[in-house]
A and B are shown apart, each in its own frame.
Chain A
Amino acid sequence: MTKPKIAVIALVLLALLLPLALPWIKTPLILGTAFGIAALGISILIVSGQISFGHALFVCGSGYAVAFAARQWPDLDSVLLLALGAGVGALLGVVVGSFVVRYRGIFFGMLNLALSMVLFAALGKFFTLTGGTDGLRLERSPFFGLTMARDQYESVLLVTCVVLALLLGWLVQRYLRSVAGQALAALKSNETRLEYVGISAYQTLWIGYIMSAALCGLSGAMFAIAQGLVTPEMGYWVRSGEIVFVAILGGVGHPVGAFIGAGIFEFVKLFAAAYLTGAWQMVLGFVLIGMVFLAPRGVSALLEPRSSLPIDNEQERP
C-alpha cells in the first residue's frame, strides 16, 4: 500500500477513534475536516498555478446562505443544508469565475481578495439583514430525519464530514487525473500551447474554479452547522490566507495533503491554547517557514518518493 493511502487511513482512524478517548475533540475534528475540504478546493487552483486570496468569499457566502435557510425553515435537514452550501458555493463560483478566470497571477489573487472583502464589509454593515458583526445564529437542525441532542449530533456530523472528505478526496483525485484536470496542470506550465492544441484555457480554469468554490462552500456549511453561528469574520482575508496556508503546508500533490495540513493547523491551535498562551499563529508561521525550506512541496510530498504531481501512475507494460 502506498504511503499516502496509509496516511488517509491513519487520519480517518484518528478522526473516528480519538473522540472515544477525548469527547471534546469532536468539534475541532469537524472544523479541521471542514478546513481540509476548503484547502482541497484551493489546491485545485494551485495546480493551475493560480492562487486565490479570496476564497473565504465562498465559505462565508455559503455559511450565510445556510444560516438564512436554517432560520427560515428550522425543519430543513442538515444533509440538505450541506448540499445547499455546496450548491451555493458552486453557483457563486460559476458567476464570479466567469470573469475572474480571465485574470492571471497577482491580478487573479487581488481580484479574489477584493471581492471577498466587499462581501466581508457588506455583511458587517447591513446588520438589519445580516446581524452585522455579531453574525447570525442557527439552531440545530434534524440530521437524516432525526432530531438529536448535541452530543449525538456532533458524532453524526463528524462521521458525515469524514465520509464526505474521503469521497471528495477521491473525486478530486479523479478529476485531477482527467483531461480537464491535466489541462489545468498544463495551464500552469504553458497556457499558449494549451490553446494551440485545442483546449480552452478559459473553460479549463472556470471548471477548476467552480469546483474549488463548491468545496469551499461545503466547508462553509459545515462551519455554520457545527458552530451554530456565522459571522462576517468567516469572509475575512486572513481566513482566505489560512486556507492557502493549509493547502501549501500539506502539499497539493495528493488530496490527503489538504487534510494533513488542516490537521497540523488545528493541532497547533489546540496545543498552543493549552500550553503556549495561545500563540498558535506564531508557531504555525514558523512551521510553514521551516516547511518552505525543508519540504517545499508540502508535508504530503514527504510521503511520495518521486514527483508529487497528480500524474497518472499507470505502469508501462513492456
Chain B
Amino acid sequence: MSTPLLQTTDLQLAFGAVVVADHINFSLARGERLAVIGQNGAGKTTFINICTGLIRPQGGSVHFDGEDVTRLSPRVIASRGMVRSFQLPQLFSEHTVRDCVRLAAAGKSGRLGLWTPLAQAVSKDAVDSVLEMVGLAARGDALSAALPEGQRKLLDIAMALVLEPKLLILDEPTSGVSTDEKHGLMATIMRALDAQKVTAIFVEHDVDIVSQYATRVAAWIAGRIAADGTPEQVLADLEVRKNVIGE
C-alpha cells in the first residue's frame, strides 16, 4: 500500500528534565486498529496532543495522509480527517446530546452560518445515524451534562465520528466506565468504526480489551515506543510486562 495514514518522524518534546517524546518514529496504515499502552506519564496523551496539533513538538514532524501537519492547529487537523476523542469527555455542557453532535456536524461543513437554525443547517441523517451507532438516539434531548459517565464517553465519541474522520484517536475510551460496561462500550465503538471504515488508535489500560479489539499494539515507556507488534507479541514482551502491565 501507498503512504501510511499517520507517520511521525523523530518526534521530540521535553518539559524541563522530563522527556515526554523521545525521538518517536512511528507509522500507521489505513485500516489498522492500534492499541497504545503504557503507564501514566509515559507520554501517550502527549503523543496524541502532538499529532492532533494541541502541542508543538520541539523536534521532528507529523505527517497525515502524506501532508505535513506538524504546525497546523487542532481545528485544521480535524478538518483534514484526524479526529480525537477525549479521556475526560469534552462536551458542550449546556447543550443537549443532539445539539452537541449537530455542532460537530456544523464544524465539518466549515461554514459559520448566521441565519439558519442549527438543526436545519446540518444533515439530519448524519446526526441521527451517528447517535444510532453509539446507542444514544433515545437520549437525544437530554442535556449532555446530565448523562452518566459511559454515555458521556459515547457522546464524546459520537461528536468525533460525525466529522467522518479518516483516523480516529480515542484517548482511554473505557476509562471511568464500570468493568461490566467496558466490553459493551468497546463493542459499540468498534461496530461504529467498522460501519464508517475508520482507522483507529485507542489508548487503553485494560489488557483484555487490548487483546480483544486491537490488530496491533504499541507500548510506550518513558516517552519512547518500547514494543510494537501484534497483541500477542507485545503483551508477551518482558519489558512491557515489567514496566507497563506491572508483573
A binding-site residues for B, Cβ under 8 Å: 174-175, 177-183, 185-186, 188-190, 192-200, 203-204, 207, 307, 309, 311-312, 314, 316
| Distance of B53 from chain A, by nearest CB (Å) | 9
Of the listed stretches B26-34, B104-112, B228-236, name the one at the interface; the rest are far from the partner chain: B104-112
Of the listed stretches B72-80, B200-208, B215-223, name the one at the interface; the rest are far from the partner chain: B72-80
Grouping DSSP codes into helix (H, G, I), strand (E, B) and loop, the A interface class, with mixed when no group exceeds half, is helix
Q: Judge whether B116 and A178 touch: CB under 8 Å.
A: yes
B108 — nearest CB in chain A belongs to which residue?
A198
**Residues of chain A with a CB closer than 8 A to B159's CB:** 193, 197
Q: Judge whether B92 and A189 touch: CB under 8 Å.
A: yes
Contact A189:B84 (CB < 8 A) given known A178-B115, A195-B75, A197-B159: no
How many residues belonging to B are interface residues under a CB distance threshold of 8 Å?
A: 40
Q: Judge whether A198 and B107 touch: CB under 8 Å.
A: yes
Q: Judge whether A200 and B112 touch: CB under 8 Å.
A: yes
A-B contact pairs, 16 of them (CB 8 A): A177-B118, A178-B121, A179-B111, A180-B113, A182-B118, A186-B92, A189-B94, A190-B93, A192-B74, A197-B104, A197-B106, A198-B107, A199-B103, A307-B143, A311-B99, A316-B141
B70 within 8 A of A: no
Q: Judge whether A178 and B99 touch: CB under 8 Å.
A: no
Q: Judge whether B113 and A179 touch: CB under 8 Å.
A: yes
Among B96, B117, B121: residue with most chain A CB under 10 A = B117
Contact A198:B94 (CB < 8 A) given known A178-B114, A179-B118, A307-B143: no
Q: Judge whether B90 and A178 touch: CB under 8 Å.
A: no
Q: Judge whether B106 and A190 touch: CB under 8 Å.
A: no
| Distance of A81 from chain B, by nearest CB (Å) | 26
Q: Judge whether A192 and B90 touch: CB under 8 Å.
A: yes
B89 — nearest CB in chain A belongs to which residue?
A193
Contact A312:B112 (CB < 8 A) given known A182-B95, A198-B79: no
Q: Judge whether B75 and A200 touch: CB under 8 Å.
A: yes
- A79 CA / B94 CA spacing, docked (Å): 40
Contact A197:B163 (CB < 8 A) given known A186-B95, A190-B90, A207-B112: yes
Contact A197:B103 (CB < 8 A) given known A182-B95, A190-B90: yes
Q: Judge whether A182 and B103 touch: CB under 8 Å.
A: yes
B98 — nearest CB in chain A belongs to which residue?
A316
Q: Judge whether B78 and A197 touch: CB under 8 Å.
A: yes
**Residues of chain A with a CB closer than 8 A to B141's CB:** 316
Q: Judge whether A196 and B78 touch: CB under 8 Å.
A: yes
- A204 CA / B114 CA spacing, docked (Å): 10
Contact A180:B90 (CB < 8 A) given known A195-B75, A197-B104, A198-B163: no
Given contacts A178-B115, A307-B143, A312-B119, 13 further A-B contacts (CB under 8 A): A179-B103, A179-B106, A179-B114, A185-B94, A186-B103, A188-B94, A189-B93, A198-B104, A200-B75, A200-B112, A207-B112, A307-B94, A311-B95
**Residues of chain A with a CB closer than 8 A to B117's CB:** 174, 177-178, 312, 314
